[in-house]
């Protein structure tokens, strides 16, 4: 039976309640482009990459060439700058998240932060999270493909020097859970307002309140096939 070697943490919506800030900046981008983003599309973009987010917003607003590289780059920069300003005002913790990070760290387990957010924004978030909680961080602009592709989780496991099958990933989104599963990790899903479908290697929890290392080890044991 595999032994738990590492815990891989998603960031937005899992550790910090930043999805609401992304909603603000995406709505403002849509308004700047002369339209309005639907709630359904916003939910669909939870955990998405920056490029996919920008292209989707442009497509929904009926922009003639939503994948025009110059336009995508311009609007992506606008979205990053606005979100950077919002992040800089402070990020609230998700329930039980800080305590869960402390418990895992105190147990001596290896840890990684695995996020679709770009490095420049992740560094701002780490001012709230605390860099000492993570051995490595993998950001959306540092991998060839972002969630739901498994590349970010495979990269994190490689940097930690552990097998993905010996990891539990903690996620809040369908894209993130798919990425972690595809890498071979067991997934603890803690939804943050957007429904995540069940999966073979997924276990669901309402919050991170009271999460212990024993529970994580049991999840890994149950998820090994």
d(CA 54, CA 67): 9
d(CA 132, CA 139): 17
Annotation marks residue 10 as catalytic: yes
Catalytic residue among 10, 12, 75, 172: 10
CB neighbourhood size of 144 (10 A): 8
CA angle 77, 63, 27 (to 5 degrees): 55
d(CA 109, CA 5): 6
Please check whether residue 203 is in contact with residue 222, taking contact to mean a CB–CB distance below 8 angstroms: yes
- Buried b / exposed e over 107-124, threshold 16 CB at 10 Å, is eebbbbbbbbbbeebbeb
Q: What is the DSSP letter of 167?
A: E
Tell me which residues are annotated as active site.
10
């Amino acid at each position: 039976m595999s032994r738990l070697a590492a815990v891989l943490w998603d960031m937005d919506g899992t550790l910090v309640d930043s999805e609401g800030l992304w909603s603000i900046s995406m709505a403002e981008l849509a308004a700047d482009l002369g339209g309005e983003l639907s709630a359904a599309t916003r939910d669909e973009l939870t955990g998405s990459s920056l490029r996919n987010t920008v292209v989707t917003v442009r497509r929904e607003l009926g922009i003639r060439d939503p994948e025009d590289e110059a336009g995508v780059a311009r609007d992506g920069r606008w979205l990053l700058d606005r979100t950077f300003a919002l992040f800089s005002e402070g990020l609230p913790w998700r329930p039980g998240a800080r305590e869960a990070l402390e418990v895992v760290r105190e147990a001596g387990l290896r840890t990684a932060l695995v996020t679709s957010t770009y490095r420049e924004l992740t560094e701002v978030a780490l001012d709230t999270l605390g860099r000492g909680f993570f051995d490595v961080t993998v950001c959306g602009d540092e991998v060839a493909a972002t969630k739901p592709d498994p590349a970010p989780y495979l990269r994190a496991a490689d940097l930690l020097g552990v097998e993905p099958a010996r990891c539990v990933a903690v996620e809040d989104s369908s894209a993130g859970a798919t990425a972690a599963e595809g890498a071979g990790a067991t997934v603890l899903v803690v939804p943050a307002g957007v429904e995540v479908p069940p999966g073979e290697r997924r276990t669901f929890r309402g919050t991170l309140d009271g999460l212990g290392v024993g529970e994580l080890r049991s999840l890994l044991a149950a998820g090994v096939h």
